[in-house]
Structure 1
């Protein structure tokens, strides 16, 4: 079958780690040999590539087309409007993507189905595009698109509209499936297909004992990741150090917190680390810590386990489905510095065999997920090409 993957969450030459979980799932799906794919990954339009514009200039340098891991990727531009952009983003996305998709069809790739990722604005735009091109579509819910954005009135209405229009909805964990069903989507149209882990890329490395018990946290330095809870726990964890892999707007605050807490000498900020280099950091650490307030399915947890490193994580959404055995790690009783410290103490008191942690991760290969996608897409197409007769207005 031929699919068109549509999402703003997709890596590009300027941001190779952006939405890498979407690319990774697609790569494994195509590797089955049962699916062909093209990708339309719109990027925000910006008029200048001058370095003084920072991140905006980087996005302006993204090529209009590129090939990544054998996948043809188109990057049409869409405008982002200050203040009102959140409400009109789905329409702007759809309008920007139409010419690119029409050109793909004219070139001979008349796809069978749209595979959309992230419900808002991407999934809503995909619903509009599916209607325009008379194609079925499937949308994957990934986290804050369901746990946060429905708190806003208009996005909630449009998310519910897109969900009703979708031929099927995928969620990356059972907890998100429950949230989607709570929005009014019939349970029989929502399928949970959890993310897997690349067991070849993430594998144990040769290591020696650390002079200090070493924690690692991986993720953007943004409020939802709550790295401040981990730094705040260090005064309660003498003889423990922390490596922070990631960058973002909270870095200055986190550095200041480390100094104020008197633990700056035990915190190392690594900056953004390419995925291919993360294996060494996972492998050298004694534990990964993730203190997020929201997570759909946190890929870093399985990446760490695949390297033999157990985890400490907050008990949110899909995380208990990932950390579901002693060899995987420990879930925090509460999201606080004390909760982090207590969980680290508990892990150290019953530290698992690292080989057992790796074996646990091996149960999460991409094979089952890819097979589930092939099966679901086949069921959608077997029902007949065309837009389902559901509500056509917001």
Structure 2
């Protein structure tokens, strides 16, 4: 530790001695990520929020959230998704957590190169303001390696705060394919005090990028077993969604290529009696609709648009199977959510799938994500479907308590 950093750590009360002296109080976290829900994007990064909510509910940690958003001056819908950023408040409260949204400059086509510096510059101003208001932090809890993790490590070095980085998926599998992000990610991995991966596969990816294995803790995502439950009456759920007696498949996720919705649509010609509900929104919607028309299955595909989390259990509970065809995932929350509602899954072999689907009552994992493999997997699963109560019991082993305890252990080790 340099003298400058040591001095700053003493000044803001985050040295090891200061933490030990106040060890009976909750760990004070600054949670930092651009992947966090907000008033105009309530589903954006909800997996980060969910994990944090359960951590804070333990009463052994508190958090102030710094969730930067791109700067944009106009709210007119003519500007598409960019207009949503202009409507995000500078500060809001979500589930009892205070969330700050400082603006950073996101340059079209150049964001991959300028992102870390822009994020860091915006965040350091915001953090100085929080400290001036009297807030104090013990550690930075940062999510997503690039650009978020790189900026978080720079913040930690400037303000003398230890940094724990959580890798989420494409930040480990996709972004390192580019030379400059790979170099920056490698630097952040080396400088961070600890690393969290949401699956064993993701840990292997981090180690391949240079992380010492002992520095990486695997903490899977969990599922809210109270929010996601089997419907009291499944027939009523199906009727409310306008579904008949035909087998119903469900595909949930952002409408982008790597989520694989197009592969599920292409499997439908081999499943003539099956209907497909697609929940989500994104830039591929028109292309997916065109694909369904081209294959003559448009009458059996319904695009439900984005749905609030409170509505998802109705869809999971009504479906006969959830199909996840993603090419890349760190840990797909939709798998656990569906199973908690009693619905088995057919999953691609993306990272985390085999860790989440480990028993017949959970569903099955494909050897590859292709239309033929998806159709065959669905036929296999639904020819002898598991008891839905058994699927729910399986999901009950994936609550949040274990993950919360693991996070607390990581932060305490770092602070000690």
TM band (smaller chain) = over 0.9
Instruction: Give the drift of 1:154.
Output: 0.6
Deviations 1:170-215 (A, max 9, x none): 0000000011011111111100000000111100001128510000
What does residue 364 of structure 1 align with? Answer: 398
What does residue 122 of structure 2 align with? Answer: 96
Q: Is 1:136 equivalent to 2:190 in the alignment?
A: no
Q: The residue matched to 1:13 in structure 2 has which SS?
A: coil
Q: The residue matched to 1:276 in structure 2 has which SS?
A: coil
Deviations 1:318-371 (A, max 9, x none): 111111110110112321111110000110122100000001110000000000
Structure 1 counterpart of 2:58, from 29, 32, 53:
32
TM-score normalised by length of structure 2: 0.91
Q: Would the aligned equivalents of 1:332 and 1:342 in 2 still touch at CA under 8 Å?
A: no
Return the alpha-carbon distance in structure 2 between the equivalents of residues 142 and 41 of structure 1. 16
Q: Would the aligned equivalents of 1:294 and 1:317 in 2 still touch at CA under 8 Å?
A: yes
Return the alpha-carbon distance in structure 2 between the equivalents of residues 198 and 98 of structure 1. 34
Return the alpha-carbon distance in structure 1 between the equivalents of residues 129 and 216 of structure 2. 31
What does residue 179 of structure 2 align with? Answer: 153
Return the alpha-carbon distance in structure 2 between the equivalents of residues 125 and 108 of structure 1. 23
What does residue 113 of structure 1 align with? Answer: 139
Q: The residue matched to 1:211 in structure 2 has which SS?
A: coil
What does residue 237 of structure 1 align with? Answer: 271
Q: The residue matched to 1:33 in structure 2 has which SS?
A: coil
Structure 1 spans left out of the alignment, 5+ residues: 383-394
Instruction: Give the drift of 1:138.
Output: 0.2
What does residue 338 of structure 2 align with? Answer: 304
Return the alpha-carbon distance in structure 1 between the equivalents of residues 411 and 129 of structure 2. 24
What does residue 382 of structure 2 align with? Answer: 348
Return the alpha-carbon distance in structure 1 between the equivalents of residues 110 and 71 of structure 2. 16
Structure 2 spans left out of the alignment, 5+ residues: 1-26, 239-243
Q: The residue matched to 1:100 in structure 2 has which SS?
A: helix
TM-score normalised by length of structure 1: 0.96
Q: The residue matched to 2:127 in structure 1 has which SS?
A: helix
Return the alpha-carbon distance in structure 1 between the equivalents of residues 203 and 285 of structure 2. 33
What does residue 99 of structure 2 align with? Answer: 73
Q: How many residues align?
A: 382
Return the alpha-carbon distance in structure 2 between the equivalents of residues 84 and 56 of structure 1. 15
Deviations 1:225-258 (A, max 9, x none): 1111111111101211101111111111111111
What does residue 379 of structure 1 align with? Answer: 413
Instruction: Give the drift of 1:85.
Output: 2.0
Return the alpha-carbon distance in structure 2 between the equivalents of residues 69 and 333 of structure 1. 40
Deviations 1:17-72 (A, max 9, x none): 00000000000000000001000000000011223222211111100000100001
Q: Is 1:272 equivalent to 2:306 in the alignment?
A: yes
Instruction: Give the drift of 1:134.
Output: 0.8
What does residue 40 of structure 2 align with? Answer: 14
CA RMSD of aligned residues (A): 0.9
Instruction: Give the drift of 1:167.
Output: 0.4
Instruction: Give the drift of 1:132.
Output: 0.8
Q: The residue matched to 2:43 in structure 1 has which SS?
A: coil
